[in-house]
Each structure stands twice: as C-alpha cells, then as structure tokens.
Amino acid sequence: DQLRTAALLPLSEPYTALGYMHMGGGGEQTTAPVLTNTGNNAIVDWVVVELRDAGDPGMVLGTRSALVQRDGDVVDMDGYSPVAFNLPPQNYHVAIRHRNHLGVMTASSIGLSNSPTTIDLTVPGTIVWGANARKNINGTLVLWPGDVNSDGTAKYAGGSNDRDAILAFIGGTVPTSTVSNVYNRADVNLDGIVKYAGSANDRDIILQTIGGSVPTATRTQQLP
C-alpha cells in the first residue's frame, strides 16, 4: 500500500499514456476520497480488465481500466462496485493486465450478464490460459512481476531486457542511485522507489520471476 499512502497513485488511468490500446474504454478516472480507504479495501493500483471473444480469445472485445484493492479485489472507479462493461450478455474470456506484471486470462469463456459474476484468479481451481501463467505465493496465485517495459516478457539479460530499464531510470551510470516518490513501471515492487542495487531493489524481482538461477532465461505472458 506504499503508493497510495505516499499519495503517488494517479486519479486517471495510466494505461492510455503507456501506449495500451483500449477497446471501448480508456480515460477512466477515480476521485481523491476513494484513495482514502485503508486496510484490505485500500486501493493500491490501477489494472486493465479485458473481455475477449469466446471463440477467438486473441480478439479483445472490450476493455476497462479498474482499481485493485489491497486484498486483490478488482473494482470500479468508486472503489467498491463491480467492473461493468457496455457489452451484450454472453460468454467471454476475462483477462487482467497490469503495467509491470505479466497478464493472465481465464482458460474458458465465462457467461457474463447484468448480474455481477465473481472470478477468483488467486485459486488453482480457476484454470487460466497457457502454462505456469501465475506465481504461487503460499497457495495464493498472483501475477508474475517484472515486465518493466510492458512487452509481455520478463527478461533479465540480452536485448530489450527489463533490468536495463530500471538502471536507465535511475540515471544509467551509478547502480546504487535511487529515485524516490515516483509512480513508474520501473518500480517493480510498487514501493514508490526505483532501486537497482541493495536491499528491496527492483532488479532482483525480475531474476526471481525468470527462475532465479539462469540470467538468460525469460518468462512470457500467457495471453493469446
């Protein structure tokens, strides 16, 4: 919850400015009072929810920027309501995207209607697209972190890697430098500080995501 407590969360969705192409959504805004919630329902960041075609999951039919609470609930701009789409009731694959994590999508299409539908992506019983698409933290499944350049791959070494993006953000020459009080993709651990070396740095998370032992390994986002 460091981004919110440091007043770093923007009131407008960040994804359009990062180059994400919305489909029917984009430009969502919340209000300052929503960001005053604390505890499990505190808003910790923005995400994108995608509804994809039941027969062709590579086809995105609708998108909405949404807010994610500290306990993992994804909610609308008021900080508590279900995320609503202006699409006809039918079956959709549902995907969640984040600015520096690898996205995830339901393996099967799900019937959505005017009545709220709960989809729990944190449990193994909710099957998702692809292989090893989520990280397991003590039985809770979460998004893989470390996609700093938002290209769909967590990469520690080689061309277009995510580690160099962190180094470049802090200045590119002094690895021990830090940049504080920022809202940026290079802040992989979402603490408001971009740090390349030392304790609680953002670089090591990328290495852990790709396996922790082979720097040239990569992890690819499991979305069609």
Determine the 3-state secondary structure of 155 from DSSP.
strand
Handedness of CA 11, 12, 14, 17 (dihedral sign): negative
> Could you count the other beta carbons within 10 Å of the beta carbon of residue 114?
6
216 pLDDT band, cuts 50/70/90, is very high
* Angle at CA of residue 29, ends 26 and 34, nearest 5°: 145
The rounded percent of the chain whose pLDDT value lies above 90 is 99
DSSP type of residue 154: E
Specify the pLDDT at position 74.
Answer: 98
Specify the pLDDT at position 131.
Answer: 97
Specify the pLDDT at position 222.
Answer: 98
Tens of pLDDT, residues 156-165: 999 999 999 9
Query: Quick one: average pLDDT of 5-25?
Result: 97
122 pLDDT band, cuts 50/70/90, is very high
Report the alpha-carbon distance of residue 164 to residue 169 in Å, rounded. 9
Average pLDDT, the chain: 97
Query: Quick one: average pLDDT of 195-207?
Result: 97
- The size of the chain, in residues, is 224
